[in-house]
Structure 1
């Protein structure tokens, strides 16, 4: 059991990062080098993982092996259990790249947390994300900044030199631990914390260092666990932070951003219908819809984007055809009726 625990986070990385972020590479109609490399990488990972997991899940991995390997290479070993155990190649590990990617994913996680704190869905585009990195945090190159921008669904990612541009802090004593420790002097502890420079104090605490206080002429130290840090975002921002990284998202929604958010909600509904209809991942479809008001306007404005994201070769306002797979929804408080079918399917004559 313990040996498989290392596989679980890897599977999460594979499915929720590599496969999800490579969808457009898989979907594209042209058979170019980029698409072939995406498939080749996934194939290498799956076949290696199949051999790795064979002792733990012998029957599932055997089925995977027969589908992935034996079906295309009759000369391969007859069973996954006849293959060699995969060997790691330390020379292939790029530690610097892994560190930068870990930072990018940390920024994305904090950005999602900031969105959640403001009650804003990820499908709703926002104007910008602001990122403050302490010197020890590392940095992000242009490619990873673009990844963060895409993952956070923002139009711009900017970097703030000073964390105070994003958030202010309020330091409070932990009553449960400091009350018994200082007794009648507890109010003085609260006053001493309020007199601290918040940014400097928070920097020390997040580094795991004690915070020195002048308590009525006596120097005392509070551990990070004894000080509660309350973040107060600047107006119009939602903020989340962890150790060396602080991320803020702009929560102001313009009509243009709201319209794009509605379009993305429509995409979600079409994708759910594709799944219900059991379409293949790369099937091109025809999509008809009926909507009114600002929802209809948003669909028309973002027609090309919706069509590209849902692989709709035809997207137009009309009542669904009789043979279509149909769904009815509420999007942004507005009624939406959608019908989908494979592009090659023909409806019967009425």
Structure 2
């Protein structure tokens, strides 16, 4: 069995089946990495939710993703991961949360009423008027009165809700540049075609390393997008040549973007041996 051969090759042991299960304490454990990945996942999930709300498919690249949070430095080692997961050209991190959002305070009258008595309404009026602050020690003060934990809630509100979303527990914001340029549209179309060609490769049961000659038939708009990114497309689908125009006996009929039709025909190519 393959796993048995791998085990013996790596350890020199008699058999993986004669080995005890590893103790949990012997396994690598990095709480900091786990926490960082949780934060990265939160940012990616929020950004993808914004994409969906704006009707922007994932294969359409966008200009920039900004993550604004006090712990922005935690995200920086994973910029490439966010870049690929959200499909953006650039990722930016900043601790300046106030540039993209503001905190709103809500007083829990039921919780603070027994302690503050008549001052409860004064505090509520001050908060509604925006006359509250948070000091250097994190204490929330309204109308000159300190509010205790549980007597209020804070919520981070985005300045532009159409392009921004709050991270869990109001711990930051993600801002997604949703403006789409013709160049981004063309790149998105090329990626859609790549997906169709990869599907055609699977349908033809080609080996993952097998080269192909590729023929595409589509609208002028789609073909122009592919031509602009031909080198990238060819590298992704292992095409030694790409031709445009009528594609007889297409391997696959498909659609891209808003339903534009594409015909894909591919043929395996035998590379000459030196």
How large is the Cα RMSD of the aligned pairs? 4.3
- Of the candidates 93, 104, 112, which is equivalent to residue 48 of structure 2? 112
The answer to whether the Cα contact below 8 Å between 1:211 and 1:223 also exists between their aligned partners in 2 is no
**Alignment of structure 1 residues 1-350 onto 2, 5 Å:** 66-70=1-5, 81-88=17-24, 90=26, 92-135=28-71, 138-141=73-76, 143-168=77-102, 191-196=125-130, 213-214=142-143, 223=150, 227=153, 229=155, 231-234=157-160, 237-243=163-169, 244-322=171-249, 325-344=251-270
Give the conservation status (yes or no) of the 8 Å contact 2:133–2:140. no
Q: Calculate the TM-score normalised by the size of structure 2.
A: 0.73
1:218 to 1:145, Cα distance in 2 relative to 1, 3 A: closer
* Distance in structure 2 (CA, Å) of the matches to 1:312 and 1:219: 68
1:163 Cα deviation (Å)?
A: 1.4
1:178-223, Cα deviation, whole Å (9 max, x unpaired): 9xx9xxx99988754433379969xx9xxxx996655xx9876684
Tell me the CA shift for residue 266 of structure 1. 1.3
Where does residue 39 of structure 1 map in the other structure? Answer: none
- 2:65/2:88 contact within 8 Å kept: yes
CA 231–320 in structure 1, closer or farther in 2 if over 3 Å, else same: same
Distance of 2:19 and 2:206 partners within structure 1: 35
Q: Which whole-Å deviations, capped at 9, do the CAs of 1:20-74 have from their partners, x for residues lacking one?
A: xxxxxxxxxxxxxxxxxxxxxxxxxxxxxxxxxxxxxxxxxxxxxx244359979
Higher relative helix content: 1
Task: Confirm or deny: 8 A CA contact 1:273 1:327 kept in the other structure.
Answer: no
- Find the aligned partners of 2:234 and 2:5 in 1 and give their Cα distance: 37
The Cα shift of 1:337 comes to 1.2
Secondary structure of the residue aligned to 1:164 is helix
| Offset of residue 92 of structure 1 | 4.3
Would the alpha carbon gap of residues 235 and 318 (structure 1) be closer, same or farther in structure 2, given more than 3 Å must change? same
Change (3 A) 1:85 1:172: same
Question: How much does 1:293 deviate?
Answer: 2.5
CA deviation digits over 1:60-103, x for unaligned, max 9? xxxxxx2443599799767x644432345648444444444444
SS in 2 for 1:279: coil
- Deviation of the 1:120 alpha carbon: 1.6
Distance change in 2, residues 1:168/1:281 (3 Å): farther
Unaligned 5+ runs, structure 1: 1-65, 346-350
The TM-score normalised by the length of structure 1 is 0.59
Relative contact order, higher structure (CA 8 A, sep 6+): 2
Work out whether residues 122 and 152 of structure 1, in 8 Å CA contact, stay in contact via their aligned partners in 2.
Answer: yes
Contact 1:165/1:234 (CA < 8 Å) preserved in 2?
no
User: How far, CA to CA, are the matches of 1:98 and 1:113 in structure 2?
Assistant: 22
